[in-house]
Amino acid sequence: MARGDPGHHRRGAVVGLQERDRTRLRPPAQSLSPHADRGGRDPGRAPDRQFQSLGEPLFELPLSGWYWQITRTDTEKPEVRSSRSLWDKKLPKLEEHGAELTAAGIRLGYVDGPEGQNLRMVERPVDLGADGKYLVSVAGDDSEIFDETRSFDYYLGGTFTALGIVLLLTTVFQVRFGLAPLKRISESIADIRSGRAERLEGEFPVEIAPLARETNALIDANREIVERARTHVGNLAHAIKTPLSVIVNEAGVHAADPFAAKVMEQADVMRDQVAHHLERARIAARVSVVATVTEVAPAIEALRRTMEKIHRDRGIMVEAKADPSAKFRGERQDLEEMVGNLVDNACKWAASRVFIEVLVEVPHKAGAGPRLRIIVDDDGRGLSEAERTQVSRRGQRLDESKPGSGLGLSIVVDLAALYGGSLSLGAAPIGGLRAELVLPGI
């Protein structure tokens, strides 16, 4: 059995207590041997007081649980001398209980005492030659060793309980404080993702510092790639727009020619398509970089004022109600582009009123972040289910008399999807169209 096993230590302790009990019984047995010698030479002699007590008062107290007995075994009728504590009782022989002689010539075992108590007993045969053979027996109450064993059990149990508590507290302390830097890195990365921070800041232990350095290097490399992509997108925009402008200008010179008119029409479509895809590339590059945070209420209020000025000649009133705690996890320019397209479209079709509302929705699913619900209502004529599906397609317009390329709603759909959001159309309570934009919040 392993050294550290509590059962091993307990058994060892019990053995030690039992051995101590044996040592308490052996001295009286050894002390009785000379008295047996003296009794053999003078069997009629009464035992003196020293012979009765052997220095232990419990041997004089009747039925105290501590007894001695000397029995002459070589006579027809055994002669018995015993301690005063045994009174008129006799101790049984261990040999009758199956106890065997040890190498030291003694027997050890358990017997029932005069009062029914369990006695620990030691026997030692003594051969005095011509003076006879004797059996010296000493017994003691075994409850003492059990009491001490029980006391030791309590002590051992308390010790191991205290040791377990100390080990538990040590483990908790080690896990809590040893892993604290990893928790700090996790929180810092969450701040970077949400836009509250740009890098991992602070001092870290030697074992974790390389992880922090590599994470910061990855963030820097990501930013560099995005900046390079933005530059390429800008260069591509200039490279394509310039030839298209030349084509449109040349076709404009011959505007009366049907072929030239067709070229101008298709060139305008190409320009719109190029603008749309370049815008998507630009936004995708921006979304892929570490997120920033935009306060929604100020951006919505600025849009409201701008749209009222643009559509002032039609007397359109734009109202806005935004939750002050609303924050968009993304660029303000993207938020303004998406909401601006929706509000501008609503103003074009509204009879007199456009209403903007921003709500913050707390997720029910664990680990999910808050969501923004931006609602734009107008009091125009509204759209049927088929018309709502049509206007969501790229380049589709229901009324060619209204200004625009027909790409506004499709751009909103694409940008919202890049941010993990969505756009849906429905009927507004004030009579017109309702556009509902869902975006990630923070």
* 316-325 pLDDT tens trace: 999 999 999 9
pLDDT at position 407 is 55
By the 8 A CB rule, do 32 and 136 touch?
A: yes
Contact 58, 85 (CB under 8 A): yes
3-state SS assignment for residue 159: helix
pLDDT at 29: 52
First to last CA, the chain: 59
Confidence of residue 14 (pLDDT cuts 50, 70, 90): very low
Q: Do domains 6-148 and 293-440 have the same CATH topology?
A: no
Q: The domain at 293-440 falls in which architecture?
A: 2-Layer Sandwich (3.30)
Rounded mean pLDDT, 319-332: 91
Mean pLDDT computed over 149-154: 86
Closest Cα partner for 372 from 406, 424, 427, 325? 325
Q: Which segment of 115-129, 141-155, 412-426 scores lowest on mean pLDDT?
A: 141-155
Quick one: which of 361, 341, 338, 328 has its CA closest to 440?
A: 328
Distance (Å, whole) CA 28 – CA 300: 103
What average pLDDT does range 149-162 have in this prediction?
90
Higher-confidence position of 242 and 343: 343
Position 385 pLDDT exceeds 60? yes
Spatial separation of the C-alpha atoms in residues 278 and 229, rounded to whole Å: 11
Average pLDDT, the chain: 78
User: Which is higher by pLDDT, 247 or 157?
Assistant: 157
Percentage of residues in the chain with pLDDT exceeding 70?
Answer: 79
pLDDT band at 296 (very low <50, low <70, confident <90, very high): very high
pLDDT band at 5 (very low <50, low <70, confident <90, very high): very low
d(CA 5, CA 2): 5
Checking if the pLDDT of 12 tops 50, the result is: no
Is the pLDDT at 113 greater than 70? The verdict is: yes
Helix residue spans in 138-257 (DSSP H): 143-178, 180-194, 209-253
- pLDDT for 300 equals 95
Instruction: Tell me which architecture the domain covering 6-148 has in CATH.
Output: 2-Layer Sandwich (3.30)
Give burial (CB, 10 Å; 0-12/13-18/19+) of 118. Answer: middle
Burial 45-65 (b: 16+ CB within 10 A, else e): eebeeebbbbebeebeeeebb
Are 424 and 436 a contacting pair, CB within 8 Å? yes
Domain boundaries, the chain: 6-148, 188-291, 293-440
Amino acid at 393: R
For range 391-402, the mean pLDDT:
51
Of 438 and 116, the one with more pLDDT: 438
pLDDT tens per residue, range 182-230: 888 888 888 777 667 778 888 888 888 888 889 888 888 887 887 787 7
Work out the average pLDDT over 37-54. 46
